[in-house]
Structure 1
Amino acid sequence: MRQELDELLKRLPFQNAGLLNQALTHRSYRYENPNTGGDNERLEFIGDALLTFLSGDFIYRRNPELTERDMTVLRSNLVDNAQLAKFAAVLDLSKWMRLGKGEVVSGGQNKPSLLSNTFEAVIGSYYLDSGIDAVKELVEPLFEEVVNDLPTAENSTPAIRDNVKGWLQQVVLDPAFPDNPENQPPTYETIRSGGNDHAPQFTSVVFVAGRQYGRGSNGNKKKAEKQAAEDALRNLGLLE
């Protein structure tokens, strides 16, 4: 296995190549190859949490002049799906992703959602393999390369409309927003609500200060959260 992944391991020096291989394995591949071992969905979960923490830590230490609101919006843009897909491209992960035949035919290697999910899984597996300091050494140069070009709350209104979760967050953190006295960011409760292992269905509900604002459903957890944010923005009269 190490020989098969030798080129990638030069950039990501895993001790356990099997963990890296699992991070590159989409559920569609496991469905078609049931003896292949685990897929990368659980690794995505821990990678997502790590990227949220590490990007926040990076922004806090790097930008002492930014307000909490500015840092929150900048973090949202730094680790959204589109940006994570670009980080995956920097590492050339599409070359190594293990996808089912249907995903390959439909161009799965180039789908931003699959690229971003795979990047999260690689981050999660690298943490389990080598620890958080190794992950920081990997991601902080990636963050540094793009952070100056990303919008903060002060300059993000047009751009953030392409990032509905970030847009909703900006809206509810505005001091003028009436129903959020403690200035809390939105929270998402996302559960698997149906489907099967090959085609799961997720439902996400977004809350602000304990109050439900929107709901969404999709076969992808992040898309379900995005739909919940869109629903919330519609309910607030900000999106048609």
Structure 2
Amino acid sequence: MGLFSKKKPAAPAAAPTPKPVDPDDIWNTPSPKRRQTVIVKESKYDDPMPENLEVESVDPEMIKSKMAQLEAELEEKKNQPIKTHADYGTSTVAAEEIIDAQTEYERLYEVEHEKYVKSHQEEISVAKEQGMAEKMEAMYAEHEAKVAEVENTDFEFSEVGQAEVDKKMIDLPYAKKPEDYPEYKDIAAVSAEPDQAELDKLGVIDHSEDPDNIGNVDEELLARKVEEFEAKYGDRKKA
């Protein structure tokens, strides 16, 4: 029976009673890290140098007042009723308001447009009629002088004789006779068609020994081969 008996679990140890914390102890306890000495090294090439750091402490009373103010604001918002869209103004815009807004917009547009036009206008002086006539007469006179100069110019074109042209053409690289070019050396030989005597000199080529020469088949041999095929395979047309 002892093998199957269950051991009673041990009673759980009583949890230690947490020590009450006084908030004043937290605010008034100085931090050990407010004043400390650290080793500062600007770069890997510099020597480490000690430097004293001092963190400015925050006034505990200021923190308490801020926390109290925040709690008061949260409590005030909690007690306020929840607003919906019905709590806000839902009245439609009257037609008179739309007309007034459009009228005001058009009035402002006219004012701004007038300012823009005035700021971009250039002062153009009015030309006198007498001055314009003098300018036009000077332009006409200059044009007529140019036309007369072209008409009276003698360009002195001299005629060149054919002999001089032929002489100059010979000096050009492409001014050669056909027989001077190597690719035209046989042009005289092929210009005339050969006669039958020259063709006979070429002789006759015998093609009887060519591999693709199948020879002639007479009618008797062809009929015999057809009869042998039909006797062996039958007439395909009657099948």
TM-score band w.r.t. shorter chain: under 0.3
- Between Structure 1 and Structure 2, the one with more strand by share is 1
| Structure number, greater radius of gyration | 2
Superposition TM-score, scaled by structure 2 size: 0.13
With CA pairs under 8 Å and 6+ residues apart, which has the higher RCO, 1 or 2?
1
